Amino acid sequence: MNTVLVTGANGFVGSHLVQDLTENGYRIVGVGGKGGIQAKSSHISQHLVLDLTQASEAQTIDFKRIDYVVHLAGLAAVGDSLNKPMKYIQTNMGIELNLFEVALSQNCFPKFLIISSGSLYDPQDPLPLSENSKILPTSPYAVSKIGQEELSRYYMSRGFECIIARPFNHIGPGQGPGFIVPDLARQIMAAKRHDKKDITVGNLDTKRDYTDVRDIVRAYRLLLEKGKPGEIYNVCSGKSMSGNEIFEILMATAGIRLKAVVDKTKLRPTEATDIFGSHEKITRDTGWKPEIQINKTLKDVLQTI
């Protein structure tokens, strides 16, 4: 049985990934910080609570029996990174560097799946965005992800096999605040309970590429199994949807009509009007494609609030 080290195992994506990997025959060593979503104990063989920004704590990981690493841990809110650029760059790059250095010090070379982001593409490039599209980071978060990709390329020169995944927006049950779907869903359900007539929103006109987190983690597993080392893979739906469309589906599902009031503090200084990617490469190499429809995703989100 192959063993996978999952960093960020008690987070939104990590909890779904741990379940998917376990159900497909993998042994899991989970690394998570305090708090977050606690992955079911039956899905994790060993759960380590570590601050991976600290090299001394990362050194407690035993890589000798680790076959794969899926590196999810880090900071992931684009808007928040605009206010905390140093924290995002230091944290996201520092954690990855510590993991590679500890494995290297133990003379261990597991295959790494580095989770980057589709947000680092130039939004002015022709759509759909492919792995060959231009890079133009528009946030410190995106800068940190480019840094993570470059670190993985350096460590490939030291003997590691690395695959880079660039997921676009992923949504689903368990996602925390600070993202469009959970923020809208929570406000809608609160308005329904308290008989309110409106909610506050950011820019709902922009269109983004949304994929259910359960499809995303299935893609990560298939990349471990079939992805080609050294390659970059988009993980996306291949189409875009506006915030207004999501708002309409959530209201219809919840059985309520509300007015959206724009809160200017929620607007970002740089925001492309439409972004979506191509999943042609990952489909060709692994057979993956998204399966869960947006209506089911949003229904499942509402049911968890």
pLDDT tens sequence for the chain (305 residues): 899 999 999 999 999 999 999 999 999 999 998 654 444 456 788 999 999 999 999 999 999 999 999 999 999 888 889 999 999 999 999 999 999 999 999 999 999 999 999 999 998 999 999 999 999 998 999 999 999 999 999 999 999 999 999 999 999 999 999 899 999 999 999 999 999 999 999 999 999 999 999 999 999 999 999 999 999 999 999 999 999 999 999 999 999 999 999 987 777 666 789 999 999 999 999 999 999 999 999 999 999 98
Cα end-to-end distance, the chain, whole Å: 36
Element (H, E) at 93: helix 85-105
List the structure tokens of 114.
Answer: 């580095």
168, 151 Cβ separation under 8 angstroms: no
List the structure tokens of 155.
Answer: 């460590």
pLDDT of 37? 45
Residues 6+ apart with CB under 8 A from 205: 242, 243, 244, 273
Residue 33: count of CB within 10 angstroms of its CB: 16
Cα 74 to Cα 53: distance, rounded to the nearest angstrom = 9
Residue 112, strand partner residues: 69, 162
Element (H, E) at 3: strand 3-7
| Burial environment of residue 35 by CB neighbours within 10 A (0 to 12, 13 to 18, 19 or more) | exposed
Q: At what angle do helices 180-194 and 243-254 cross, to 10 degrees?
A: 40
**Domains detected in the chain:** 3-170+211-235 (3.40.50.720), 174-208+240-275+292-303 (3.90.25.10)
